[in-house]
Structure 1
C-alpha cells in the first residue's frame, strides 16, 4: 500500500515543447509553457488529471485573434495561466492540472459576482458551495462551507477579496488543497503557511474580474481520434436583475404569464445563475439569501436532477444537525447509532427534523441550466417550498410550466434567461 501512495507524490516529467502556436486561418496565437522555480528546481504541472498523465500549462504570449469583429482573450488578464513564483506563495505539493482547473472554474463563476465579497469552494471542477454577502468575506466563506461541509473536504477555495486572519483561521480548521485570493494579510499568511501542504495562490486580478466579463476565449475540446471541436466560450447575458425575461408563453390563443420575482428573489436568482456558469450540466441549483443550499450536477434527465438536488439538500441538512449536536458527520452518526441507543434516538430525531424542515428548501429559489421539457421537475421543486425559478425557456410546453408555478399556493415566480448554460 505504501508503494501505491508514492504515485501521488511523484512528479510526472513532461516532454511537451516550450512553445506552442495555434494557427486559425490567417491568425495565430502563440503560447509559452509555464514552469516555476520551486525549491531550486524548475517544475511545470505536477501531473494531469491522474498521476500517470503528463501535463503542461501554456500561457498566451501573443495574440490578436478576433472573430466576427469580437476580440478574444489575448493574455492581457493575468490569471491562472500567468502564475509566477511570486503568485505561488506556498506551493505545497505544487499544483497539478486539476488544482489549476478548479481555480480557473472558480474564476469563471466569480467574474459575475464582483459586486460583493464572494467565496466559492470547488471539488472535481464543480462548486460544492458558493456565497456572497454584504457582511464581508468571512460571512460569504462560512456560508459557502455550510452549503456542503462534506464535499468541501479536500477542496479548493477561491475568493474575490483580500483574505484576513479570521478567514484563515476558519480555513485552517478543515482540510483544503488550495486557497486562491487576490491578496492575503500578513496575519492570514502566518496561519495558512502552518499547513505545509496547502497550496496558497495570490492572484491580484481576482479583485478586478469585472474586466474579463464579456470577452470570449477559444474553448477547445480534443476528441479521442485526435480531432478538435472549437467553440467560443460561454458568455452570460444575465448580468443584472433587469436582464431576466418575463416568463411568458402563448398556447391556442391564450397567453400565460408568470409572477415577477420580488427584489430579494431576483437577487438570489442572479447569484445562482452566476454560479450555474460553472456547474456541469444537466444541473439544478437551490439558493437562498446569497448562498447555495444544494447543487445537483451532471444528470441525464431534468426531473432526475431535481430529485437528486432535493435529496442532497436533505442529506446536507441532516449532516449539519448531526455535526452541531454530536461533532459527527451524518454517516458517522449512523454507524455509531447501530450500537448506541441514545445516538439512535438522536439520529431518528435529526431525520424527523430534516423531513419537517424539508431539508431547508422552503424559501429557496431555483435555477436550471436548461429548460424544463415537462412540468414534473417544477412540481417537485414547488412541493419543497421554492418561491422563484429561473430557466432558459423555449420548451414547447412553456405554457404548461408557467401553469405549474401559477397554480402553486402561494404563487411561485418564474423568469426566463433567454440562454442555456450547459457546461460539458
Structure 2
C-alpha cells in the first residue's frame, strides 16, 4: 500500500534511459539521434534496434537487459521483470529501490512504443490468422505500466509527439514536467483503449457476434471545434480509422474551418449523393439541417445542380452541396450565385477551384472517391445511461423487389422516379415524404409528427416554389411520391393525389393497407409496396 508521503507528484524528472520499440518507424532516427545527443541510453528490440544500429547509433538489446532471448517468433521479448520493474518502480519508494538494487533492475525513464499495425491489417482484408498475429501483447503491457508510473516515466505512443518531447527536454535541461507526463499518459491510455476496441470489434465481426456483451468505440482527434450545435456546447471531431470517404478523409481546399453543424450536414449530403452511381450521370444534393432541400440528376452537373436548386431555392441559401462527380467550372459559376456554406465532391477542376477562390468563406472539400452506400457498418447514438447500436441503413431496392398493389401498374418513367424518390427518402428525417418528377425532387416533407403533415408541407412548398418560378401549376403536378414508412390512413395518399401525384412507393404493412389501396385505385394512382422501411430519426 502506498503512503500519502510518496504519492505526491514529482515535477522535473531527468530522462536517462529510454526503451524504443516501434512498428511505425516514422521519425525514429531523428528522435533517437536527439536523445543520444543528450546522453540518453538507448534500449531497443528486434527491427527497431537494427534500424538504430544501421544508422550508427549505440543501442542495447532488450535481450541483454533481461538475460533472455526473444522467443516464440517475437511473442515473448519484453514481458519480463527487468523491463516492467524498470517502468513501474517508484523512485521515491525505499522498498522499490531496495528491490531494484537486489535484482539489478535499472530504471527506464522513457518508453517509445507504437503497436503492431492491427487496424491496418484488418483494413487490408487479412486472414483471421494474420489478424491474430498482429495483436500486440508486449506493447500494450509496457504502455500501461509506463502510463501508471507517469509520476516518473514518459510514454510516447505516437510519432507526432516526438517533437513535443524533445522541446520539453530542451526547455528543462533533459528533464520533463509532471504535467507533460500526465498528458502523455492520457494519450497512451487512449491509444491502448482504441487498440483494444479495434480488436474486439474485429473479433465480434469475425465470429459473427451481433450483440457482444460489451461494446467499445474509439476515435482519433481530427479537429477541436469552435463549439457544438450551439455556442455554449464544447465539441470536437474524431475519426474512426475506417477511412470511409467523406468529411473525415476530404481535403479542404479553401474556406473557414468547418463547424460541428457543417460536418454533420456535409456528411448527410455526401452519403445521399453517393447513392447515385456517377457512371450513370451527374447528381447533386443540397442539404439544410441534415435534410435534403433538393436532389436531382441531369445531363450535366450544372443542370443537376440547377434542378436540385429549383426544388427549394429559399432553403438552399446557406446550404451544403454534394456532387457525385468532380466539380466543373460551369457548376462552380452557378453555385457562387448564392451563399453556400460547403461544397463536397470527388474532385474539382482547376478552373472550378479558381472560380471558388473568389469566395473566401466558401468551403471546398474534395475526396478521391464516393462512399459505398451498400457497405456494412455500425451506427450509434447516445441515450441517457447508454447508447443504441445498429447496422447502417444500407438497404436498397431493384425493380424486381417492388410489388404492384393497385389496379394500375406504374409506367416505366414512373418506376424510375419512384426508385429515385425511395432513394432520397432513405436520407430524410422521418416522417418523410418525397415528391419527384423526371429525376428531381419537387417537394420534400421532413421530420413531422404526422405523415399527412409531411405530405401537406411538401406540397405547399412545391406550390410556393412554382409561384416563385412563375409557373401556373405546382411542381408536384405529374410527380410520384415516396413515403419512408407505411401510410397509417388514406389521408396522406389523398393529399398527395390532390397535389397532382400519379404514383406512390411505400413499404406497406399497415392495418389499413386495403383502405389506402382502395383510395389509390379510386383516384387512378399506381402504387407499389417495398416491404422495407427507411425510418431516420
Common fold by TM > 0.5: yes
Count of aligned pairs between the two proteins:
333
Aligned match of 1:262: 411
Q: Which runs of 5+ in 2 are unaligned?
A: 1-182, 202-211
2:407 and 2:536 mapped to 1: Cα distance? 27
Paired residue for 2:513, among 394, 398, 413?
A: 398
Q: Deviation of residue 27 (structure 1)?
A: 7.2
Per the TM alignment, residue 76 of structure 1 is displaced from its structure 2 partner at its CA by 4.2
Please point out which of 263, 273, 295 is paired with 1:110. 273
In the alignment, which of 426, 433, 437 is matched to residue 277 of structure 1? 426
Q: Which residue of 2 aligns with 1:145?
A: 309
Does 2:291 align with 1:126? yes
Identify the match of residue 318 of structure 1 among 467, 470, 484: 467
Structure 2 partner of 1:420 = 533
Matched, 1:203 2:367: yes
State whether residues 312 and 461 of structure 2, in contact with CA within 8 Å, keep that contact through their aligned partners in structure 1.
Answer: no
Query: Contact 1:160/1:182 (CA < 8 Å) preserved in 2?
Result: yes
1:388 alignment partner in structure 2? 503
- Is residue 478–residue 500 contact of structure 2 (8 Å, CA) maintained in 1? yes
CA distance in 2, matches of 1:177, 1:117: 21
How far residue 316 of structure 1 moved from its aligned partner, in angstroms, is 1.6
Q: How much does 1:236 deviate? A: 2.0
Is the counterpart of residue 32 in structure 1 residue 210 in structure 2? Answer: no
Match of 1:214 in 2: 374
**How many angstroms apart in 1 are the aligned matches of 2:268 and 2:467?**
29
Does the C-alpha gap of structure 1 residues 27 and 401 become closer, same or farther in structure 2, counting only changes over 3 Å? closer
Larger relative CO (CA 8 A, sep 6+): 1 or 2? Answer: 1
Corresponding residue for 1:81?
Answer: 248
* Contact 1:80–1:104, Cα closer than 8 Å, also in 2: yes
Structure with bigger gyration radius: 2
Any idea what SS the aligned residue of 1:271 has? helix
SS in structure 2 at match of 1:147 = coil
Asked whether 1:178 is paired with 2:178, we answer no
Are residues 1:362 and 2:522 paired?
no
Post-superposition offset of 1:107: 2.2
Query: Is residue 231 of structure 2 the alignment partner of residue 51 of structure 1?
Result: yes
Partner of 1:101: 264
Contact 2:296 2:304 in 1 (8 A): yes
Whether the 8 Å CA contact 2:243–2:249 is kept in 1: the answer is no
Q: Take 1:54 and 1:318, find their aligned partners in 2: how far apart are those partners? A: 42
Task: Give the structure-2-normalised TM-score.
Answer: 0.59
Q: Structure 1 unaligned segments of length 5 or more: list them.
A: 1-14, 36-43, 62-74, 248-256, 322-352
Q: Comparing 158-167 with 22-31, which one deviates more in the overlay?
A: 22-31
Deviation at 1:373, TM superposition (A): 1.0
Contact 2:311/2:442 (CA < 8 Å) preserved in 1? yes
Paired position in structure 2 for 1:327: none
Aligned-residue offset at 1:47 = 2.6
1:377 deviates by: 1.2
Where does residue 318 of structure 2 map in the other structure?
Answer: 154
Structure 2 contact 455–496 (Cα < 8 Å) conserved? yes
The structure where strand makes up a greater share of residues is 1
Of the three residues 302, 305, 310, the one matched with 2:454 is 305
Q: Establish whether residue 379 from structure 1 lines up as the match of residue 537 from structure 2.
A: no
Shift of 1:30: 4.3
Q: Secondary structure at the match of 1:308?
A: helix
On the 8 A contact 1:77/1:205 being kept in 2, the answer is no
Aligned-pair distance for 1:233?
1.7
Corresponding residue for residue 293 of structure 1: 442
Task: Give the conservation status (yes or no) of the 8 Å contact 2:465–2:475.
Answer: no
Measured against aligned partners, the alpha-carbon deviations of 1:228-285 in whole angstroms (never above 9, x if no partner) come to: 11111212231x33332232xxxxxxxxx44221111111111111111111100111
Q: 2:390 aligns with which of 199, 208, 231?
A: 231
Once the two structures are TM-superposed, the CA of residue 153 in structure 1 deviates from its matched residue by: 0.4
* 3-state SS in 1 of match to 2:248: helix
Note the alpha carbon deviations across 1:327-354, whole angstroms, 9 max, x for none. Answer: xxxxxxxxxxxxxxxxxxxxxxxxxx75
Matched-pair contact (CA < 8 Å) for 1:258–1:415: no
Whole-angstrom CA distance in 2 between matches of 1:402 and 1:150: 35
- 1:204 is paired with a residue whose SS is coil
Secondary structure, in 3 states, of the residue corresponding to 2:455? helix
